[in-house]
Amino acid sequence: MRHPTDPGRYLMSRSRAPELVQPDDILEFTLDSQSVKPTDVRLYGERVIHGTIYQTRPDVNAVCHHHAPSILPFCISGTELKPVYHLGATLGEKVPFWDARDDFGDTTLIVATPEEGASLARALGANWIVLMRRHGATVAGRTLEELTFRTIYTARNAALQIQAHTLGHVSPLNAAETELAGEYNLRPGPVARAWEYWNVRLDKAEGTWRPKNANLRAKKKSPPKRKTKSRRRG
């Protein structure tokens, strides 16, 4: 995500499996994707994806690059990804494709150079998601919460679009519906509700979740203390 107090920098973990990332793993980078402080730890090779998008899109404050299984069939086949239900409207009206072959010929398919990152950012343009041929997707958001909401529901939209094709004709949202539903779903209320739910799921998975009123319920359930009468000595 973009640095909350310095828009000319962004924050990203060192190269590590996402489930293992700890607060100390978060590093600060310039928009040229150089570490602000010298470090010997391994860094993500594709961090230029994030830096170049932050350079070209000042309205974007969070970026996610992923390889969700439901998204990859579209990246492989070139089939257009369309919003097919109301929460899928966060895709936006258009989901562009980017193919590294067009600008760079045969590559490793890893977006590792500033030139490759800039090419991908141009393909994203003013949109919120870009599909990368034979690779994955890159998603943008104005906030971290919005980004998470869009990333999860666009992946679900992709799965539903594939399933619907097995039944026959697919009727996606039209342009007006996409705009209206997208604006509605990205209101503070729906995003905050989903964000709270995902946070609780994460806390439960890590074993750190406790209900807010757990202490209060525990006090109510505890048995009352017995009063003992003192005996008089004669």
Distances (CA, A) of 18 to 15, 23, 91, 215: 9, 12, 24, 32
Name the active-site residue from 46, 116, 145, 146.
Answer: 46
Q: Is residue 156 packed enough to be buried (19+ CB in 10 Å), middle (13-18) or exposed (0-12)? A: middle
Residue 46 is a catalytic residue: yes
- How many of the other CB atoms lie within 10 Å of CB of 230? 5
Structure tokens given for 118: 């800039």
Residues in the chain: 234
In angstroms, rounded to a whole number, what is the distance separating the alpha carbons of residues 131 and 66?
A: 10
| Residues ≥6 apart with Cβ < 8 Å to 52 | 31, 33, 114, 117, 118, 120, 121
Question: Active-site positions?
Answer: 46
